[in-house]
Amino acid sequence: MNLKAVHGAAESVAMQYGKDRLPIDLDAIASTLELRILYAELPEDVSGLLVSGPDGNFVVVQKSDHPNRQRFTVGHEIGHHFLKHQFVPGEHVHVDRGHYVSQRGPRSSTGLDTKEIEANQFAAALLMPSRLVRQEVSRLGTAHLLDHHVSALAETFGVSEQAMTIRLSSLGVL
Between these two residues, 64 and 17, which has the higher pLDDT value? Answer: 64
Q: What is the pLDDT of residue 53?
A: 77
**Dihedral over alpha carbons 59, 72, 76, 2 (to 10 degrees):** 160
Between these two residues, 107 and 40, which has the higher pLDDT value? Answer: 40
Find the mean pLDDT for residues 153-157. 98
Q: What is the pLDDT of residue 101?
A: 58
Q: What is the pLDDT of residue 105?
A: 47
Predicted confidence band at 173 (pLDDT cuts at 50, 70, 90)? very high
Domain ranges of the chain: 3-127
Predicted confidence band at 45 (pLDDT cuts at 50, 70, 90)? confident
- Per the CB < 8 A criterion, the answer to whether 59 and 50 are in contact is yes
Q: What is the DSSP letter of 83?
A: T
Find the mean pLDDT for residues 41-68. 89
Dist. CA 155–CA 140, nearest whole Å? 14
Q: Is there a cis peptide before residue 23, judged by omega within 30 degrees of 0?
A: yes
Predicted confidence band at 39 (pLDDT cuts at 50, 70, 90)? very high
153 CB burial (10 A radius; 0-12, 13-18, 19+): buried
How confident is the model over 89-139, as pLDDT tens digits?
544 444 444 445 555 444 445 556 788 899 999 999 999 999 999 999 999
Angle formed by the axes of helices 114-127 and 161-170, to 10°? 100
56-62 and 48-53 beta bridge pairing: antiparallel
Dist. CA 174–CA 155, nearest whole Å? 17
pTM, to two decimals: 0.87
Q: What is the pLDDT of residue 113?
A: 77
Dist. CA 62–CA 48, nearest whole Å? 6
Query: How many residues comprise the chain?
Result: 174
DSSP alpha helix (H) spans, the chain = 3-17, 26-32, 67-82, 114-127, 130-140, 147-157, 161-170
Q: Does the structural domain 3-127 have CATH classification 1.10.10?
A: yes
Angle formed by the axes of helices 130-140 and 147-157, to 10°? 130
Predicted confidence band at 23 (pLDDT cuts at 50, 70, 90)? very high
